[in-house]
């Protein structure tokens, strides 16, 4: 069952608002604990799909911390809802597809065009959140879930079409992890990116080749 609008607004505030991480766990838990995984996936899809607007009031560090909480299994169990086969596939794919808007409207707007690992201060927080997104998200094609895996690989391919260095590097980082489970598919995505994209510098080209080989850090 979907969260009503008032509860969803409280969820967004609980995830991204000010306060210690312990408070985030408590406040989000009071809203999501006990709900089925379909409700969690729907909540994520609503947030990611409208992230450009919903996250506008929050600072870069708040956005970075909130996103890490939502997708990192070290922070919560909620992202595992995307792996639950009892949640209808179309709902899980809807959530995956919504990530394109998160990257286009939030990360491309807030992240530095420089290499994420070279930033400092508040800017580094959002850059790191972007770069590590698909490392933290517990979807890497193992165990296989072919329909969802296809949606994830298609998403990563679309992100490479966004002309922003941090977004592209994040997608390549993700593809590097997916290369272990889907080597031919990842190689084809990278080859297409290198053949079609313009203004790719040598460092990004090398990183793309490393990603195709599954050799990313």
CB atoms closer than 10 angstroms to residue 211: 26
Supply the pLDDT for residue 96. Answer: 98
Residue 52: inside a domain, yes or no?
yes
User: Is 120 within a domain?
Assistant: yes
Range of the domain at 83: 5-212
> What's the rounded mean pLDDT across residues 159-177?
97
How big is the chain by its Cα radius of gyration, in Å?
Answer: 17
- Which whole number is the average pLDDT over 66-85? 95
**pLDDT for 197 beyond 70:** yes
* Most distant CA atoms of the chain, gap in Å: 49
Look at residues 90, 212, 87, 70 and name the one whose alpha carbon lies nearest to residue 151. 90
Q: Residue 120 above 50 pLDDT?
A: no
Question: For position 116, what pLDDT does the model report?
Answer: 44
**b/e burial code for range 149-186 (CB count within 10 A of at least 16 → b):** bebbbbbbbbbbebebbbbbbbbbbbbbbbbebbeebb
pLDDT of residue 115 exceeding 70, the answer is no
Average pLDDT over residues 86-98: 98
For 115, the token pair is: 């290499």
CA distance to 96, 99, 115, 147, 175, per residue, from 89 (Å): 11, 16, 35, 8, 22
**pLDDT above 70 (res 10):** yes
pLDDT band, very low/low/confident/very high, at 122 (cuts 50, 70, 90): very low
Classify residue 217: in a domain, yes or no. Answer: no
Confirm whether 106 is domain-assigned: yes
The 3-state DSSP class for residue 112 equals coil
Separation of alpha carbons 179 and 163, rounded Å = 23
Q: Is residue 159 part of a domain?
A: yes
Count structural domains, the chain. Answer: 1
Mean pLDDT of all residues in 81-90 = 97
Let me know if residue 93 belongs to a domain. Answer: yes
pLDDT, residue 146, reads: 96
- With bands split at pLDDT 50, 70 and 90, how would you rate the model's confidence at 23? low
What is the pLDDT averaged over residues 43-50?
A: 98
* Residue 87, domain member (yes or no): yes
Write the Ramachandran bin of 141: left for phi over 0, alpha for psi from -120 to 50, otherwise beta. Answer: left
Residue 199: is its pLDDT beyond 90? Answer: no
- Per-residue pLDDT, averaged over 15-36, amounts to 82
Amino acid 27: pLDDT: 84
Average pLDDT of the residues in 81-100? 97
**2: region left, alpha or beta (phi > 0 left; psi from -120 to 50 alpha):** beta
pTM of the predicted model as reported, rounded to 2 decimal places:
0.93
Q: Is residue 176 part of a domain?
A: yes
């Amino acid at each position: 069952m979907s969260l009503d609008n008032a509860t969803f607004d409280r969820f967004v505030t609980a995830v991204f608002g000010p306060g210690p991480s312990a408070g985030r766990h408590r406040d989000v838990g009071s809203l999501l604990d006990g709900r089925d995984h379909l409700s969690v996936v729907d909540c994520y899809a609503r947030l990611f799909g409208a992230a450009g607007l919903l996250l506008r009031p929050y600072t870069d560090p708040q956005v970075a911390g909130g996103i890490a909480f939502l997708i990192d299994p070290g922070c919560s169990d909620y992202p595992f809802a995307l792996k639950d086969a009892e949640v209808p596939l179309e709902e899980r794919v809807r959530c995956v597809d919504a990530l394109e808007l998160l990257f286009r409207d939030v990360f491309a707007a807030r992240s530095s065009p420089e290499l994420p690992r070279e930033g400092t201060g508040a800017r580094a927080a959002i850059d790191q959140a972007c770069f590590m997104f698909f490392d933290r998200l517990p979807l890497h094609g193992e165990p296989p879930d072919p329909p969802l895996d296809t949606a994830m690989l298609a998403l990563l391919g679309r992100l490479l079409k966004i002309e922003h260095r941090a977004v592209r590097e994040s997608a390549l980082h993700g593809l590097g992890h997916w290369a272990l489970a889907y080597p031919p598919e990842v190689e084809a995505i990278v080859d297409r990116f290198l053949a079609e994209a313009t203004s790719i510098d040598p460092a990004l080209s090398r990183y793309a080749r490393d990603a195709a080989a599954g050799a990313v850090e």
